[in-house]
A and B are shown apart, each in its own frame.
Chain A
Amino acid sequence: METNGTPQTKAGDWRSYNRVLLPPVEDLHKLEVYEEEENGYGRLRTVLEDDALDSDEIINIVKQSGLRGRGGAAFSTGMKWSFMPDKDERPRYLACNADESEPGTFKDRQIMEYNPHLMFEGILIAGYALQIDTCYVYVRGEYTDWISHMATELQKAYEKGYVGENIMGSDFSMEIVLHKGAGAYICGEETSLMESVEGKRGYPRYKPPFPAQKGIFGCPTTINNVETLACVPLIMEEGADWFANTGAEDHPGPVLYGISGHVNRPGVYEYPTGMLITDLIEEVAGGVRGGKDLKAFVPGGASTPPIPADRIGGVTMNSNSLNEAGTMFGTGGMLILDEDTDMVSWLRRVTHFFQDESCGQCTPCREGTGWLENLVTRIDQGEGNMRDLDLLLDLCDQMEGRTICAFADAASWPVRYTVQRFREDFEAKCKPSVHPVSAEVSGGADSAVAATE
Chain B
Amino acid sequence: MSSFDVQRPIVELPDQNPDPAFSDDELVWTDAEKEQIEAWKDQYAEDQGAIMKVLWLAQEKFGYLPPEVIKFCGETLDMTFSQAYGVATFYHQYYKEEKGEFVLDVCTCFTCQVCGGYDILHYLEEKLGIHAGETTDDGMFTLQEAECLGACGSAPMMEVSNGPYVHQLTKEKVDALIDSLKDGKMPAFTSVTLPQDEDEMGGNRRTDAEQTTTYETQPRGEHME
- A interface, CB within 8 angstroms of B: 19, 22, 24-30, 91, 100-106, 109-110, 113-114, 134, 140-145, 175, 177, 179-185, 196-202, 216-217, 219, 258-270, 286, 289-290, 302, 333, 335, 337-338, 340-342, 345-346, 348-350, 352-353, 355-360, 366-367, 370-371, 373-374, 377-378, 380-381, 383
Contact = CB atoms under 8 A, between A and B. Distances in A.
B110 A302 contact: yes
B177 interface: no
A401 to B, nearest CB: 21
B153 A348 contact: no
11 contacts: A103-B110, A103-B147, A106-B151, A142-B162, A145-B163, A184-B92, A289-B220, A341-B114, A349-B110, A352-B2, A377-B2
Interface string B138-155: 000000000111111111
Nearest to B214: A267
Interface string B207-225: 1100000011110100011
B195 A181 contact: no
Q: What are the nearest 10 A-B pairs in CB distance?
A: A182-B91, A183-B92, A345-B224, A103-B148, A183-B93, A267-B215, A199-B48, A260-B152, A199-B51, A267-B195
Given A182-B94, A268-B194, A289 B110 contact: no
B10 A360 contact: yes
B113 A346 contact: yes
Given A141-B93, A345-B224, A349-B110, A378 B4 contact: yes
B51 A114 contact: no
A328 B12 CA distance: 34
B36 to A, nearest CB: 13
Contacts of B162: 141-142, 144
B78 to A, nearest CB: 11
B11 interface: yes
A182 B55 contact: yes
Interface stretch (B16-24, B38-46, B121-129): B38-46
Nearest to A203: B90
Contacts of B225: 345, 348-349, 380
Nearest to B149: A142
Contact of A200 (B48, B56, B215, B218): B48
B34 interface: no
A268 B153 contact: yes
B53 interface: yes
B7 A370 contact: yes
Contacts of A197: 44, 49
A372 to B, nearest CB: 11
Nearest to B154: A266
Interface centre among B114, B189, B225 (most CB of A within 10 A): B114
A417 to B, nearest CB: 15
Interface of B: 1-5, 7-8, 10-11, 43-46, 48-53, 55-56, 77, 79, 83, 86-87, 90-94, 108-111, 113-115, 147-155, 159, 162-165, 189, 191-192, 194-197, 200-201, 205-208, 215-218, 220, 224-225
Contacts of B79: 199
B220 A262 contact: yes
Given A182-B92, A183-B91, A24 B208 contact: no
A104 B49 contact: no
Nearest to B161: A144
A24 B147 contact: no
A134 B46 CA distance: 13
Contacts of A140: 150
B152 A103 contact: yes
B194 A201 contact: no
Given A179-B52, A377-B2, A346 B114 contact: yes
Given A145-B189, A183-B93, 11 more contacts: A103-B109, A104-B111, A106-B153, A142-B162, A145-B163, A261-B115, A266-B216, A286-B217, A348-B225, A353-B109, A356-B10
B208 A27 contact: yes
Contacts of A177: 43-44
Interface centre among A175, A181, A200, A260 (most CB of B within 10 A): A260
A182 B148 contact: no
Contacts of B192: 267
Nearest to B108: A349
Contacts of B87: 199-201
Contacts of B224: 342, 345-346, 348-349
Contact of A260 (B46, B147, B153): B153
Contact of A182 (B1, B93, B154): B93
Contact of B207 (A26, A100, A181): A26
A77 B53 CA distance: 30
A269 B197 CA distance: 10
Given A180-B53, A346-B114, A350-B110, A266 B215 contact: yes
A225 to B, nearest CB: 14
Nearest to B223: A345
A242 to B, nearest CB: 20
B196 A270 contact: yes
B44 A199 contact: yes
A357 to B, nearest CB: 6
Contacts of A259: 153
Nearest to B115: A261
A143 B77 CA distance: 25
B218 A349 contact: no
Contacts of B191: 113
A179 B51 CA distance: 11
Contact of A267 (B49, B165, B194): B194
Contacts of A145: 163-165, 189
Contacts of A342: 224
B148 A114 contact: no
B205 to A, nearest CB: 5
A179 B44 CA distance: 10
A110 B205 CA distance: 12
Nearest to A197: B49
A262 B52 contact: no
A218 to B, nearest CB: 9
A239 B25 CA distance: 61
